[in-house]
Structure 1
Amino acid sequence: MAITFDLLPAAMEETIDRLDSIEKLLMKMQQPAPLPQGTDYITRKQAAELLHCSLVSLHAWAKQGKVKLYHFAGKTYLNKSEVMAAMKPVSYDLKQKGGSK
């Protein structure tokens, strides 16, 4: 479509409207997706503090499948109840002396 000098203002207005709609779509896409409701997600740092371990250990446990990582909007989270379930109780026999037999 050839644009003449007379049609230039209308063509510019149409172009600006299209750019505005594209800008709105891009702004919508840039907003981070909300975390799913009903589940308590924590960050990797919070999980490491909860488990009293380093982020490196937490990463190793994720690779081993001991904890599951969730990714939302470019960030990594863990399900707090799954982290708590991954913790195993440890019992000590305080009466036994020395090493293991």
Structure 2
Amino acid sequence: MTAQILLNGITIEQLAEALKPLLQKPLAEPQHVTNELIGRKEACALLHCNLSTLHKHTKSGRLKSYGIGNRVLYKKSEVLESVTPINH
């Protein structure tokens, strides 16, 4: 079922005038992935893998990890960029 908007008692000019402020606003900028740091579990959730697979990719150099104290962190943008398309 399609949605319909019915306007009664308003002219096209009045509608255009009412919509003018909305049309002059800049569109929302697309959400960019920031350099947000995520933990190992979050990285595994993004990649749909387990901790041992994440460790393997980190040791092989496919993923770059960062650390502070005893925590291992990943940049979310780098984790997402590490995924490459497979051509079939």
Calculate the TM-score normalised by the size of structure 2. 0.58
Matched, 1:65 2:61: yes
Find the residue that maps to 1:53 and give its secondary structure.
coil
- Identity of aligned pairs, percent? 36
Partner residue in 1 for 2:49 = 53
Higher helix share: 1
For the residue of structure 1 that corresponds to 2:35, the secondary structure is coil
3-state secondary structure, aligned to 2:56: helix
Point out the structure with max Rg over C-alpha. Answer: 1
Counterpart in 2 of 1:76? Answer: 72
The 2-side partners of 1:48 and 1:89 are apart by 18
The equivalent residue for 1:85 is 81
Cα displacement (A) at 1:45: 0.4
Higher relative contact order (CA 8 A, sep 6+): 2
TM-score, normalized by length of structure 1? 0.51
Secondary structure, counterpart of 2:73 in structure 1 = strand
Gaps of 5+ in 1: 1-37, 93-101
Q: CA RMSD in A?
A: 1.3
Which runs of structure 1 show a deviation greater than 3 angstroms over 4 or more consecutive aligned residues? none
Q: Distance in 1 between matches of 2:35 and 2:42?
A: 15
Alignment length (residue pairs):
55
Amino acid at match of 2:77: S
